[in-house]
Structure 1
Amino acid sequence: MADYIALIHKDADSDFGVSVPDFPGCVTAGTTLDEARAMAAEALALHIEGMVEDGEAVPEPSSLTDIMRDRENRDAVAVLVPGPTRAAKAIRVNITLPEDALRLMDSYAEQHGLTRSGLILAATKRMMEAA
């Protein structure tokens, strides 16, 4: 799979936000630049996986020139994010969580541009890496 351009945005009082212009709605964030780049690759892989499952065509990467034509993109730093080598199959799982914990998780995920599944996956990966 090809590399795609991701845009990293940073406000003084926020984490590093990342968007992938070729995939509207594909956004994520990280507390550090390295984490933001890693989360971008993960978000892109999950987004493409969903498109494939839904039978949607995966777009070819846009050029940097095309992406920077949009004035809103000019305040960001462009980085290349590798597309997944193969789309991993997503498997639906059923978990049980306390309602208040679920509300907190959903709020946190929304504030950081993640889905509930993306948050659970990111947290799990961090815990495993730290072990």
Structure 2
Amino acid sequence: MQYPLYVHRDGDTGFRGSFPGFPHAVAHGSSMDELKSDAPKVVELAYDGSEQLIPAPTCSTSELHALDMDDGVGIWMFVDINLVRVTSRAVAIQFSVLESLLQQVDLAASERHITRSAFLTLAVVHELASRYKGQSSSMPVSQRVFVDG
């Protein structure tokens, strides 16, 4: 999957890249090619075997430019990330919301330095948390039993 990476100069001799969808992964390289090569490895190491929810990537340039991490100095590029070793899987969905609500979501996501998809994923997890009665919070989401109450 192609994930957006925001690239900055890192001192005089290198580059640093941050993923809005992978907040724990920061790539480095002495050249753009090295950075692009390092980026998938950094994500795989940070999320290998992880139960962290991973949002679907965004291709919306307006959403990316709205993020606080986009300071206008760096550039956006897309990097192919192989999520085979990542335990959780994201599924793309499409739904409609009021434009004013979407603007509030985008503002809140931007303030947290995450994508719209990441924000909505966290909101869903938060909303469903009370429905997992008596089950360990350390239990993987995929093994929890949904209790309708």
> TM-score by structure 2 length?
0.50
1:67 Cα deviation from its structure 2 partner: 1.6
Within 1, Cα distance between the matches of 2:46 and 2:6?
Answer: 16
1:17 Cα deviation from its structure 2 partner: 0.7
Aligned mate of 1:80, from 78, 85, 100 = 78
User: Contact 2:15–2:30 (CA<8 Å) still a contact in 1?
Assistant: yes
Pairing 1:60–2:56 present: yes
Within 1, Cα distance between the matches of 2:61 and 2:45?
Answer: 23
Give structure 1 regions of 4+ aligned residues with deviation exceeding 4 angstroms.
none
Higher normalized contact order (CA 8 Å, seq sep 6+, divided by chain length): 1
User: Contact 1:6–1:20 (CA<8 Å) still a contact in 2?
Assistant: yes
User: Contact 2:39–2:79 (CA<8 Å) still a contact in 1?
Assistant: yes
> Match of 1:81, as an amino acid?
V
Q: Please provide the CA RMSD for this pair.
A: 2.2
**Could you list the per-position Cα deviations for residues 65-101 of structure 1 after superposition, in whole angstroms to 9, with x for gaps in the alignment?**
2121024413211111112151179xxxxxxxxxxxx
Q: Percent identity?
A: 22
Pairing 1:70–2:67 present: yes
> Match of 1:70, as an amino acid?
L
Within 1, Cα distance between the matches of 2:46 and 2:74?
Answer: 21
User: Contact 1:48–1:58 (CA<8 Å) still a contact in 2?
Assistant: no
Within 1, Cα distance between the matches of 2:83 and 2:27?
Answer: 20
> TM-score by structure 1 length?
0.56
User: Partner of 1:37 in structure 2?
Assistant: 36
User: Partner of 1:10 in structure 2?
Assistant: 9
Structure 2: 5+ residue stretches without partners: 88-149
- SS of structure 2 residue aligned to 1:75: coil
- SS of structure 1 residue aligned to 2:23: coil
- SS of structure 1 residue aligned to 2:28: strand
Structure 1 or 2, whichever has the larger Rg, is 2
